Structure 1
Amino acid sequence: MAYYKPQQIAEVTVENGTKKVHSRLVTVLVLGFLGGAFISLGFLLNIRVVAGAPAELGSITNLIGAAVFPLGLILVLLAGGELLTGNMMAVPLARIAKKISTWEAMKNLILITISNFVGAVFVAYFFGHIVGLTGSGVYLEKVVEMAAHKLDDSFVQAFVSGIGCNWLVALAVWLSYGSDNMSGKILGIWFPTMAFVAIGFQHVVANMFLIPAAIFEGYYSWGEYLINFVPVWLGNLTGGAIFVAAAYWAAYLREPQDSSVALAAKDQSSQASAVRKQA
């Protein structure tokens, strides 16, 4: 199982961020819808698993829910999808590296925000409300309880929580770029994602599912959701763009260097050739 070193991951991320910005509009919108839906399905799985757990389990229940939530990000990165929090790291890195313009970066983040929201609300309404997976019994109680915790945070608390969330989520995306096979990518995604959920940080796309799911059942309002959305969005952007993208640009890309990805590919090719000769 081959993996890239941090400088190589940085170069791959710049390339991916550039590709995201230059994708066709229909591709961006479709993959953005899928990204929002996939994260929501992971959250729905979390709720269905933990809602009926006995109180005696305490924080172990949160750990169990956190352990199944990464399904959503795995689907985004392996099956295909565009996720706002991941783009908040890859696209700014491409901008810092001067591969794209500021307007192109902003346009991509706006389009993914809208399409992620549509995908998340689709799952919340049709699977949660219409099918009833979040609309009754212990499942409704859990949704309302979790939404209340998100909405209770002040602007500053939600903003800082958003930073912590996307510091971890962006690192999950970063690690997935560091592997060249599916099993390595899943392992790289799993643990940082599980950590942010277990800690309780705020994820703007996950909230696009959770809070509307509660609203559809008659709790809270869209105004309350908007008050939460703004600081979490800004916090997630800060976590991805500053704490991951800018940090690794300063560490690995600020000074021009030979392409380590190309060198790694050359080394792997040489090693494979040597193995064939030995065989």
Structure 2
Amino acid sequence: MKKLELLVSSILAGLLIGVSGAIYLGSGKIPFGAVLFSVALFTICTRGMALFTGRVGYLITRNDRMVCIGELLVIWLGNLVGCAATALAVAYAKPAYREMACELTARKLSESPVQIFLLGVMCGLLMYIAVDHFRTWQGDFGRFVGILLCVPAFIIAGFEHVVADMFYLMLGVQQGMIGKIIVFLLVCSLGNACGAWLIPLWDKLRMRQG
């Protein structure tokens, strides 16, 4: 995928995550709202769009890792742009959602870096399971089971998904928060990546022992 195409794809993925985040806020954050959040990943997977948390786990299995790291940086930035654009639109069209996001942002920024990292690890693991199940499962309906289970699971459990958090934090940002938000997103990204690497690393270790 060329860099411009990759950037556009990642911006669209960020927009979709932002839209699903708005759906979740509008649902009153009930469990059914967590299920509806899956709409974004359904579309991202079926359309082959670029989502950081859906791609970072495959860094372990790539031979051209430096190229992959460059792609992941483009995807991360594109996801951020897409989420920021959605946050601006939602803040204008649905001011009540911004109020909810402000409360959510304050709570998230009160977490320590260790908490953010660990919650990111658990989310990254679930995201890898969801995406890899979609990629490898044979059969139409079965491909979506991982998404339908793992996405609501990480939301209900309160795990941290860096791209979803890009949307919530950009929607709920207030004066003096930018530095904390940057640190939060970087730590969460590392946590998501480490969680997504657990199963591929286990697979590599098992293959060597076999």
TM-score grouping bracket, smaller chain normalisation: over 0.9
Superposition CA RMSD, Å: 1.8
State the partner residue of 2:57.
Answer: 89
Deviation at 1:73, TM superposition (A): 0.9
**Structure 1 runs (4+) greater than 4 angstroms displaced:** none
Residue in 2 aligned with 1:18? none
For residues 86 and 150 of structure 1, the distance between their equivalents in structure 2, rounded to whole angstroms, comes to: 22
Does the CA contact (< 8 Å) of 1:214 and 1:220 recur in 2? no
Give me the whole-angstrom Cα distance separating, in 2, the residues matched to 1:80 and 1:41. 18
Say which of 10, 15, 18 aligns to 1:40: 18
User: Normalising to structure 2: TM-score of the pair?
Assistant: 0.92
* Aligned positions of 1:199-218 closer than 5 A: 199-215=157-173, 218=174
Q: Which residue among 234, 246, 253 is the counterpart of 2:201?
A: 246
Residues 30-70 of structure 1, C-alpha deviation per residue, up to 9 Å, x if partnerless?
A: 1111111111111111111116xxxxxxxxx2x22211111
Q: Which residue of 2 aligns with 1:72?
A: 40
- Could you say what secondary structure the match of 1:50 adopts? coil
Q: CA deviation at 1:220?
A: 5.6
Distance in 2 between residues matched to 1:29 and 1:254, nearest whole Å: 36
In the TM superposition, what is the alpha-carbon distance from 1:181 to its structure 2 partner?
A: 4.2
Partners in 2 of 1:247 and 1:220 — Cα distance? 42
Distance 2:26 2:3 in 1: 34
Q: Cα distance, 1:208 vs. partner?
A: 0.7
- Aligned pairs for 1:1-279 (under 5 A) are 23-50=1-28, 61=30, 63-94=31-62, 99-100=63-64, 102-126=65-89, 128-131=90-93, 133=94, 135-136=95-96, 139-215=97-173, 218=174, 221-241=177-197, 243-251=198-206, 253-254=207-208
Q: 1:173 to 1:167 in 2, by over 3 A?
A: same
Structure 1 residues 185, 220: CA separation in 2 closer, same or farther (over 3 Å shift)? farther
Read off the aligned partner of 1:106 and give its amino acid letter.
I
Do the aligned partners of residues 220 and 46 (structure 1) sit closer, same or farther apart at CA in structure 2, a change above 3 Å counting? farther
Q: Matches of 2:59 and 2:18 in 1, distance apart?
A: 23
Query: Aligned pair in 2 of structure 1 residues 219, 186: CA closer, same or farther (>3 Å)?
Result: farther
Q: Give the Å deviation of 1:168.
A: 0.5
Q: TM-score, normalised by structure 1?
A: 0.71
CA distance in structure 2 between the aligned counterparts of 1:234 and 1:213, rounded to whole angstroms: 22
2-structure distance, mates of 1:67, 1:220: 33
Q: Which residue of 2 aligns with 1:266?
A: none
User: How many equivalent pairs are there?
Assistant: 210
Q: 1:129 to 1:231 in 2, by over 3 A?
A: same
* Alpha carbons 2:99, 2:172 under 8 Å: kept: no
**Structure with greater Cα Rg:** 1
1:219 Cα deviation after fit:
6.0
Taking every aligned residue pair, what percent have the same amino acid on both sides? 25
- Hey, what's the Cα distance between the residues in 1 that align with 2:98 and 2:76? 26
Q: Give the stretch that moved more between structures: 227-236 or 139-148.
A: 139-148
Structure 1 residues not aligned, in runs of 5+: 1-22, 52-60, 257-279
Q: Where does structure 2 lack aligned partners over 5 or more consecutive residues?
A: none
